[in-house]
Structure 1
Amino acid sequence: MMDSAKYEVVIIGGGPIGLACGIEAQKAGLSYVILEKGCLVNSLYNYPANMTFFSTSERLEIGDVPFVSNNAKPTRSEALEYYRRVAIHRKLNVKLFEEVLEVVKADEVYQIKTKKHNYEGKHVVIASGFYDIPHMLGVKGEHLPKVTHYYKDPHFYAFQKVLVVGANNSAVDAALETWRKGAEVTMVIRGEGVGERVKYWAKPDIENRIKEGSIKAYFNSEIAEITEDTVVIKTPEGLVSVENDWVISMTGYQPNLGFLKKVGINLSADEIMKPQYDETSMETNLPNVYLAGVICGGMNTHSLFIENSRVHAERIITKICRGTSF
């Protein structure tokens, strides 16, 4: 086995909160490394190309670096540019495209193995987000090439028959944007209407498009089956088959809780599966292993965002510098 690179803090996840943890470690004079399985702020990169954040730019700032955007609410491209500039300005030690395979305790340190290298850390921070694993529909045909759980750019769907599954922001954005590029759009929504969390400027837009018939919507419905050229929808009136070229399934995502369990972090026994950690220090049931960001909420992925979890970085590094036990 190759020798391990040794650090006081190993941070798993190169999203905004992982970067914030790196900044705090750097400010405290601790040696650290940030391990990211994809590109820098990989989750944000996978957001829709034309997405606008609900938050204002100053609430997305980290490391005391100002985030200036053209409008009060920044776009995805502006956020990517901002976090790149933060990484450059702070000279952050980030290792990209290094997925962590395992974390094992060895005496007083942890051995962290990636696909490329081995690392050794006295403290481990897991800030891996929740955008990795899509909620599956669990229907026949879901694995056909025409089905995607990640929506990027609307032009690809121009003049095609597109079915969008979901009722929240991602689904609404996909439906409106593809429709405006000339797609024939159908929505399948499990509830009685679009979600209450839909951005205030998009909610009346989608509701008006549905009301006027520009976008067809099946409420209280779900997909029964997907075929090469159709989608069968289970509606209150019975099964309906619609012609279809592409399915965009925006049913949400979940954190990799299996990884936490594999590491040895306790999860609650209920459906939320919230990890065990101390709210004041973010330390888990494993000594010197911490959680930061949205992963702290378990399956409740709508409780934590960049703006209300930036403070996790400060709590963790304060605890590490203080050197007390869990």
Structure 2
Amino acid sequence: MLDVLIIGAGPIGIACALEAKKNNLSYVAVEKGTLVNSLYHYPSNMTFFSTSEKLEIDEIPFISKNPKPSKQEALEYYRRVATSKKLNINLFEEVIDVQQNEDQSYQISTNKTAYQAKNIIVSTGFYDIPNPLNIPGEDLPKVSHYYKDPHFYSMQKLIVVGASNSSVDAALETYRKGAEVTMIVRGEQIGERVKYWVRPDIINRIKEGSIKAYFNAELTQVHENTVEFKDENGEIQSLENDFVLALTGYRPNFKFLEKLGVAIADEEKNIPAYNEETMETNQKGIYLAGVICGGLETHKWFIENSIIHAEQIIKAIKS
């Protein structure tokens, strides 16, 4: 029987595995996709808000040629941590079911095998489930909730929904690759949390008219060749359109937490209940680590301030 099974092999899951190994606990981390699966699916040209030293695990140096490391540098770093430390990580293995045994341990069934573990750490992030627009036409092939590479949208009429970091990056990058970009923004301005070195760029591009932006607006329907949106005056307008990037954010897998019996402390924000010192939930032996702790407040926890969860959890398990 394992001392701990870790669900998710992102940066925080890797940190938990490393901490378990250092403390001589038997463990396995399972990941339904590739290593650091969420990072892998980030946009190709993404750079982090944090500097490389703040993304380090267990003081293992993260060397970057830039002040803000790139996605590719992060993939290389976390892969090297996992392989050089010979961590027990099983990839492309998805957890299907979790059942508690009579002795309070857990049986975890995956699409490949089954495990017995005394404790479970859930470190599944939030990037797998996009927040839907819930509008007609959202399921058309021209609509995507994920942005990868700007070249795809070259010479196309592109709608970007949102004004967060991901939306702003997509708007600027696609504009510079020749897309005709229009932003539809619910709020009255570009988000305050947008990276400080990027925010002036998007504001200036909007002011000069290179990128069109409608504020206090809402996309209402997507058609094959057009979109409709409600402008700040409440009037419906129509625009010719080839593609829509609905970058409206993402959410943790709340259904999985519910299946585990994890209580919700804040119903409005879907913040799960856990002990802030040990990270243990209301279910004995089930711990949360990383951004999943923030519920819908996905901006609250990120790599640099949640790496500490690994040490807190393993300390609690050992005690």
Give the distance between the partners of 2:78 and 2:151, measured in 1 at CA: 26
State which drifts further: 265-274 or 177-186: 265-274
* Residues 281-300 of structure 1: CA deviation (Å, up to 9, x unaligned): 11111111100001111111
Return the TM-score normalized by structure 2: 0.98
Give the distance between the partners of 2:116 and 2:140, measured in 1 at CA: 41
Structure 2 counterpart of 1:179, from 160, 171, 175: 175
Partner of residue 84, structure 1? 79
Give the distance between the partners of 1:270 and 1:87, measured in 2 at CA: 36
Partner of residue 198, structure 2? 202
Partner of residue 146, structure 2? 150
Q: 1:285 and 2:282 equivalent? A: yes
Q: What secondary structure does 2:148 align onto?
A: coil
The root-mean-square deviation of aligned C-alpha atoms, in Å, is 0.8
Return the TM-score normalized by structure 1: 0.96
Give the distance between the partners of 1:39 and 1:64, measured in 2 at CA: 24
1:169-318 to 2 correspondences below 5 Å: 169-237=165-233, 238-318=235-315
Offset, 1:107 = 1.9
1:114-153 to 2 correspondences below 5 Å: 114-153=110-149
**For residue 105 of structure 1, what is the amino acid of its counterpart?**
Q
> Runs (4+) of structure 1 moved beyond 6 Å?
none
Which runs of 5 or more residues in structure 2 are unaligned?
none
Offset, 1:269 = 4.9
Q: Is the 8 A contact 2:221 2:228 kept in 1?
A: yes
Partner of residue 60, structure 1? 55
Partner of residue 27, structure 1? 22
Partner of residue 3, structure 1? none
Give the distance between the partners of 1:184 and 1:288, measured in 2 at CA: 52
**For residue 218 of structure 2, what is the amino acid of its counterpart?**
E
* Residues 19-67 of structure 1: CA deviation (Å, up to 9, x unaligned): 0000000000011000101110011111111011000000000132100
Give the distance between the partners of 2:297 and 2:155, measured in 1 at CA: 37
**For residue 263 of structure 1, what is the amino acid of its counterpart?**
L
Give the distance between the partners of 2:266 and 2:152, measured in 1 at CA: 42
Which runs of 5 or more residues in structure 1 are unaligned?
1-5
Give the distance between the partners of 2:43 and 2:99, measured in 1 at CA: 36
Give the distance between the partners of 1:210 and 1:269, measured in 2 at CA: 37
**For residue 72 of structure 1, what is the amino acid of its counterpart?**
P
Partner of residue 163, structure 2? 167
Q: Is the 8 A contact 2:266 2:272 kept in 1?
A: no
Partner of residue 99, structure 1? 94
* Residues 56-99 of structure 1: CA deviation (Å, up to 9, x unaligned): 00000013210000111101110001001101111111111111
Q: 1:10 and 2:8 equivalent? A: no
Q: What secondary structure does 1:268 align onto?
A: strand
**For residue 287 of structure 1, what is the amino acid of its counterpart?**
K
Give the distance between the partners of 1:289 and 1:275, measured in 2 at CA: 12
Offset, 1:140 = 0.2
Q: 1:321 and 2:315 equivalent? A: no
Offset, 1:125 = 0.4
